[in-house]
Amino acid sequence: MNKKWLEVLGLICLFVSLLTLAITLTINARWLYQWDIGHLNLLDMTILSEKELLHNFDQLMRYLNTPWVTELKMTDFPVSTSGALHFYEVKKLFLLNYGLLIVTIGPSIWYLRRLVKQHRLWELIQPFRIAVVVPIVVAFLMAVNFDRFFIMFHGVFFNNDAWIFNPATDPIINVLPETFFLHCFILFFILLEIFLLLPVIIGKRALKKER
């Protein structure tokens, strides 16, 4: 593989690294859920205290984030067979995201170091200018009709309807309302935009220094 294709691969890895980093920071934003407990009055939907609710949330996240935790158990929330299937599929997506982040970090660093060494950081400007537009377009579509966006999102990533929880058998859904996921998407798009803008800013500064 010649150096040109290696650099193309490096650029792709950089995109993937930034995308998966934004996802990683979003899905682990415990502070956002803690904020939504008060903002969305989630304690009105359960008999649990905030401390107990967060403990169950942490149990769920530990299952989703940890490969060696193979069974989902929450102290105060039962999980149906359908609910367990959905969370298992979410877990696989979480681990795929982490795997992609780990695999692409090395090539991304190599690519950036190469650009720095050859004084070519300005080459980041154009591809990331284009990339910045994509999250804006998707976020706009989300803002127009989040319910439809949410359904389409699940249609893309899941091939069943296990994500449609029955509160009677999976009461966890009462404290994981759709609005919380809206806030997660908003946080994700903000982080992704920041990460995609950084290479543009860095590239422009490097270009000024070269002149």
pLDDT of residue 147: 95
- Write the CA distances from 29 to 32, 63, 98, 181, 202, integer angstroms: 5, 15, 15, 12, 27
**pLDDT tens digit sequence for 86-132:** 999 999 999 999 999 999 999 999 999 999 999 999 999 999 999 99
CA distance 62 to 159: 24
Q: Which structure tokens are listed for 29? A: 């934003």
Residue whose C-alpha is closest to residue 193's, from 24, 19, 8, 17: 19
**Contact status, residue 123 vs residue 210, Cβ threshold 8 Å:** no
pLDDT of residue 211: 63
Q: What's the predicted TM-score (pTM) here?
A: 0.95
Write the DSSP string, 120-132: -GGGGHHHHHHHH
CA distance 184 to 164: 18
pLDDT of residue 207: 83
Write the DSSP string, 41-72: TGGGG-SS-HHHHHHHHHHHHHHHH-TT--S-
**pLDDT tens digit sequence for 43-52:** 999 999 999 9
Residue whose C-alpha is closest to residue 15's, from 182, 192, 159, 175: 192
pLDDT of residue 42: 97
* pLDDT band with cut points at 50, 70 and 90 for residue 208: confident
**pLDDT tens digit sequence for 136-191:** 999 999 999 999 999 999 999 999 999 999 999 999 999 999 999 999 999 999 99
